[in-house]
Structure 1
Amino acid sequence: MSGPRFHVLLGPDGAGKSSVMRRLVTMLPEWRMVSTDSAFVAPEHALIPRLRRDVHDHLLPGLGTAYSVDFMASVLQTAVVHLRDQVRETDPRVPVLVDSYYYKILAKCRMAGVADSRMYSWWRSFPQPAGVVFLDVSAGSAWRRRGDGARLNALEYDGDDGAWPEFESYQRNLRKMLLEEVREVPVTMLGEQPDAARAAAAVREVLTA
């Protein structure tokens, strides 16, 4: 399956990808930013940010009780397919930056115990990016950006209580799994940046090199 040339912005939880992409809108006006974040979703795709809110407000709080991990994966697949569709439908002359693509959702589904290899194989058959920009962040910084753990969701830590050790362990394994997923794609690693402005400038430098 072929597709236009595009890049992916990837990183652990709390890396600041959404903040960076919002800044890149003005810094790289010739680029198209693709994300499930409402700031980047066209009005005709209003279902996507609505589902994203419902996942955070209803599905994740009920994960393991009201909803199974397989049900969660089925809902998250809507985001994966939406991102693929946006990549495929973009004018090939327009450079594209995609927030996480399917990589992060796949990693989180695997870490949650979803074992549907057929679904993963389908996602991995999607068009591959020309490159990945990996925006790194330490677990300690990510923890502080999450209000010292006060603003975590169930897909950001191991165990039941979301304490620091469970968050740190989850993020370490998530980072490892993300890099494993993109091992066949050119990856540019960006170390932790002091703020969103400098992170955006660093990403822009990679994309325009």
Structure 2
Amino acid sequence: MKSLEPYGQQTMNKEGFPSMSSVQTPVKLSSQTRIGVLYGGLSSERKVSLISGQNCFDALKRLGYENAELIDVNHHIAQTLAEKRIEVAYIALHGKFGEDGCIQGLLELMGIPYTGCRVAASALTMNKATTKSVLKDAGLPVIDSVVIKAGTVNGKAVRYRAELPGDGQTHQRGLQHRHEQGGQGRGPERGPHHGL
């Protein structure tokens, strides 16, 4: 059996970032381990998550994890996890409440190991501008960017193609494309799938 790598005991290094050696501790699994594949969820990216979750579940079954189970995340997820006595959570959620640290925090409170990033990293990476700032401050190369609020470009001409995902959107659903040649550019428009 392969091992999943859920969270471990987290400590900070001298720069204030999580120590890489403590971020994830492998959990030994057997074919009988109760693995909950968390999918669906409450975000606008539910449909994508349903596909991802099914694929993860199918792969776990092919690998011999007999007690893997699909769990469609809703407002009763804590009760569901407790009732089903889930031992490890495989997170296949997308967007808000799945990749923003919320489900990760709940799982940590319940003592259930899980796959993916811990709470702080999940929350941070949901905000693209903040993520880029942290990466740049850490000395990593990032491309130049500008944050544009809905309806304005602050008097600057937009001369480049722009990809405009809203915060909380992690998939291309809801991505706006803008391309203006010189002159006064148009800011992003509000839409039902944009966190702008």
Give yes or no for TM over 0.5.
no
Q: Scaled by the length of structure 2, what TM-score is found?
A: 0.29
Higher helix share: 1
Highest RCO, 1 vs 2 (Cα 8 Å, sep ≥ 6): 1
